[in-house]
Amino acid sequence: MRSHRSAFRWLVSKEWRELVSSRAWWVLLLAMGPLVGVSFISAVRVYGEASGLNGTSAGVGEAFSPLIGIWAPTFSACELAAAFLLPFVGIRLVSGDKQSGALKMELQHPMPAFARIGAKALVLFAGWLVAFSAPLAAILLWRSYGGSVYPPEVATVAMGHLLNAGLTIALAAATASLTEHPSTAAILTLSVTVGTWIINFIAAVNGGVWERAAGYTPTAMVAEFQHGLVRLDVTLVALALIAAGLTLSAIWIRLGVTIHRRVYESVAVAAIAAAAIFACAFVNTSWDTSESRANSFAESDETALRQIRLPLQIEAHLAPEDPRRFDLEHRAIGKLRRVMPKVQVNYVSATSIGLFEQTSAHYGEIWYELGDRKTMSRMTTAEGVLEAIYSIAGVPVPVEKDDEFRGHPLAVPPKGAATVFYGIWPAAIVAGLFFVRRRRA
C-alpha cells in the first residue's frame, strides 16, 4: 500500500529509528542522569550550607541567586555531555549511512542534500532534548524543596546549552561528512573542541583580538547564558556557525559531486559564514534575564548613564591575566556596554600577567575621557567606575532605590536527588532500552 507520508517525514522517521537503535545515544542518556545528579546535589548542598544549613551562619546566602548557585552548575553537566558524548551520537548517525551503504541508495532520491542533513540534525536535536529531561528533573526537585524558580533565567541557561548542542551537532555532522571513517571524524571534532579551549587560553594570556574571538567560543557562549545574559551577537554567531556546519555536511555528503566542486562550495560557505560572523559582531543588543539583574546596573544608574550623549573612552592599564581586569570587565564594563553601546575600552599592558608591571607608574590606572574632560581612577568595582563616569559627565549620582535583589536563601539538603539521578534515571533508561529492543525483536 502506497504511503502518503512525504519523503521528508519518512527520512525523519528513519533517522529517529536509527538514533533509537544506536548504543551511543543510550549511553548519552544513561550518563546524563548521574552527571546532572552530581552537579545538582553538590550545588544544592553548598547553597543550603550558605543559607544556614547544618549550623553554618544563616544569612550568608541572603544574596544567593539560584541562577548562579543552582542552575549554572546543574546545567554544566550538559556542557560536558555536549563536548564528550553528543559528538559521537551525531557522528554515528551521519557516518552510519556511509558505512552501511545506505547513503548510496538514499542519494538516489532527488531530495536536496541540506534536507537530508536537516532531518538528521532535527532528530539529533530531539534526541538531545530527551537527554535534557535530566536537568529538567532537577528543576522539579528544586521546586519540590521550596526553591525559587525564575523562568526567564532558567530558560536562558537552557537556551545556551541548546545552542551549544546545536553547535556540536553541526560540527559532528560536518566532520562525519568530510571524513571517510567515524574515528577520524571523532578525532577531528574533539580537535576543534580542544582548539576552542586553546583560543580561550590564548585570549586569557594575550587579550586583544583573541579576547574578542574567544567571546564566541562555545565555552564563553554558555558562560554568558549561565549568567542570565542573552546577547544577540553571540546567538547570531552561534546560529551562523550551526548553519555553516550543516551546509558543509550537506556539501560533502553528495558523493556524486566532484571533489573540486565540493571544495569550491566549502570555501564559499566558509567565506559567507565569516562575513556573517563579522557582521554579527557589530550587533549590540542584549537582554538581562537574571532576576538579580546580574548583568545590569541599577535602573536609576542606567537612566543616568543614558543621559550621557558623548562617546566615552576608557583606557585601562591592566594586563590580561590581572584579576582586577577581570573584575573591571565583568562587574562594570560588560554592564556599561549594554547601556552605552558606543563606549570604547582600550586595555594597555606590556606583559600578560602584569605582575612585573606593578612598579610602573601608570599600571593600574583607568582613564576615562568624555569630550574634552578626562579623569583617572584605580577602582575596578561597578561603583568606582560609575563614580568616575558621573564625575566627568557632570551627571548627579542617582539616588538608589531600595529594590535591590535580596536573594532566595534555602537551607535544605538535596533530599531524594540521589535516588532520582543515581537510581530511577538509570533504571528508566535501561528499561527504555529493553522496551525498544523487545519491540524490534
User: Nearest approach, Cβ of 229 to other proteins (angstroms)?
Assistant: 43
Lay out the site mask for other proteins across 92-121 (x = CB under 8 A, - = otherwise): -----x--xxx-xxxxxxx-----------
Report the C-alpha gap between 79 and 135 in whole angstroms.
Answer: 12
* 180 is a site residue for other proteins (CB under 8 A): no
Of 255 and 268, CB closest to other proteins? 255
Q: Is 438 in the site for other proteins (CB under 8 A)?
A: no
Shortest Cβ distance from residue 11 to other proteins (Å)?
A: 6
Tell me how far apart the alpha carbons of residues 82 and 124 are, in angstroms, rounded to a whole number. Answer: 12
Q: Which residue has the cell 558524548?
A: 85
DSSP state of 381: S
Residue closer to other proteins by CB (options 401, 440) is 440
What three-state secondary structure class fits 341? coil
Binding mask 133-172 toward other proteins (x if CB under 8 A, else -) reads ----------------------------------------
- Residues 16-55 touching other proteins, rule: CB under 8 A, are 17-18, 21
Q: Does 7 bind other proteins (CB under 8 A)?
A: yes
Sequence-ordered list of residues with C-beta below 8 angstroms from that of 179, at least 6 positions apart, any chain: 95, 185, 188
Cβ distance to other proteins smaller for residue 418 or 433? 433
| 59 Rama sector, left if φ>0, alpha if ψ -120 to 50, beta otherwise | left
Cβ of residue 433: shortest distance to other proteins, in angstroms? 13
> Interacting stretch for other proteins, rule CB under 8 A, among 79-87, 256-264, 369-377, 401-409?
256-264
Binding footprint of other proteins, residue count (CB under 8 A): 28
User: Could you give the string, one character per residue 60-99, with x where binding to other proteins holds by CB under 8 A and - elsewhere?
Assistant: -------------------------------------x--
Looking up cell 576615562 gives 368
> Does position 342 bind other proteins by CB under 8 A?
no
Give the HSE-up count for residue 412: Cα atoms under 13 Å, Cβ half-sphere. Answer: 17
Work out whether 2 is an interface residue with other proteins (CB under 8 A).
Answer: yes
Nearest-angstrom CA–CA distance, 127 and 27? 12
According to the binding rule CB under 8 A, does residue 3 interact with other proteins? yes
Q: Using the rule CB under 8 A, is 11 a contact of other proteins?
A: yes
Q: Which of 21, 104, 93, 82 is nearest to 441 (CA)?
A: 21
Q: Please identify, using beta-carbon distances, which residue of 116 and 408 lies nearer to other proteins.
A: 116
Torsion sign over Cα 21, 185, 277, 204: positive
Is position 250 an interface residue for other proteins (rule: CB under 8 A)? no
Strands (E), 95-196: none
Stretch that binds other proteins, among 1-9, 212-220, 231-239, 390-398 (CB under 8 A): 1-9
Candidate residues 258, 359, 396, 401; the one interacting with other proteins per rule CB under 8 A: 258
DSSP state of 55: G
> How does DSSP classify residue 145?
T
Neighbours of 344 (CB within 10 A): 11
Report how far residue 124's alpha carbon sits from residue 242's, in angstroms, rounded to the nearest whole number. Answer: 13
Number of alpha carbons in the 13 Å side-chain half-sphere of residue 303? 9
Q: Are 46 and 64 in contact (CB under 8 A)?
A: no
Residue 168 CB, nearest distance to other proteins (Å)? 23
List contacts with other proteins (CB under 8 A). Answer: 1-3, 5, 7, 10-11, 14, 17-18, 21, 97, 100-102, 104-110, 255-259, 440
